[in-house]
Amino acid sequence: MRDALVAAAFRLFLERGYEQTTVDDIVALAGVGRRSFFRYFPSKEDVVFPDHERCLADMTAFLTEDGVNDAGGAGHEPVRRVCDAARLVLRMYAENPAFSVQRYRLTKRVPGLRAYELSVVWRYERALAEYLRARYADRPDGTLRADVIAAAVVAAHNNALRSWLRSDGTGDAGAMVDHALEYVHATYGPAAPPAERPEDVVVVVSRRGAPLWRVVQEIETTLGRP
């Protein structure tokens, strides 16, 4: 029934327009009563974003399972973990590209839906930030770092996601989002250890009996030192 309500709603949105379609119109087309509609969706806006509550719950569970409170207490690397959590949102969109593109076009045309979408995005960002705050609680800049990284992850994910939606769902959405999130991880994740430089070996040939100052001078000249 939930899927039937979503299908009926989007059919009417495309035929009549979002503002001109009422909940009564949707339930009439779906062949159910108003009570059935509100059992699944609190409002007409929610029928446009039917999977976000589930996705938010999945993301929260994914972050909770990190193992921060395990005996070792280390858990996963935090920036990598929130990047992986953001990929759950992409998976939701990629499950039905045609529907996702359709919703994207509708949201662009309806200011109220854009505002609703921003509120949904903020809830994702808050979930990421709360997880990071717990991971960085022992740092003096922990709250600031958590909020900045959460915002960066959401911005990078949405930049790639919207590029994919603008292309009508063509191309590899996963690769686009991976590229964007790797940028965040490279910026805020743990620094890579510096590559070890091979030690220089200098061989100086000097005649027997040369004074020590001459040998030192030849070494400095070879090393390029004054």
Please say if the pLDDT value at position 147 is more than 80: yes
Instruction: Assess if residue 216 is contained within a domain.
Output: no
Residue 72: its pLDDT value, please? 41
Is 125 found in the same domain as 91? Answer: yes
- Please count the structural domains in the chain: 2
Is 75 found in the same domain as 1? Answer: no
Is 171 found in the same domain as 79? Answer: yes
Is 30 found in the same domain as 135? Answer: no
What mean pLDDT value characterizes the chain? Answer: 87
Instruction: Assess if residue 92 is contained within a domain.
Output: yes
d(CA 152, CA 107) in angstroms, rounded, equals: 23
- How does residue 75 score in pLDDT terms, banded at 50, 70 and 90? low
For 19-58, write each residue's pLDDT tens digit: 999 999 999 999 998 999 999 999 999 999 988 999 999 9
- CATH value at residue 173: 1.10.357.10
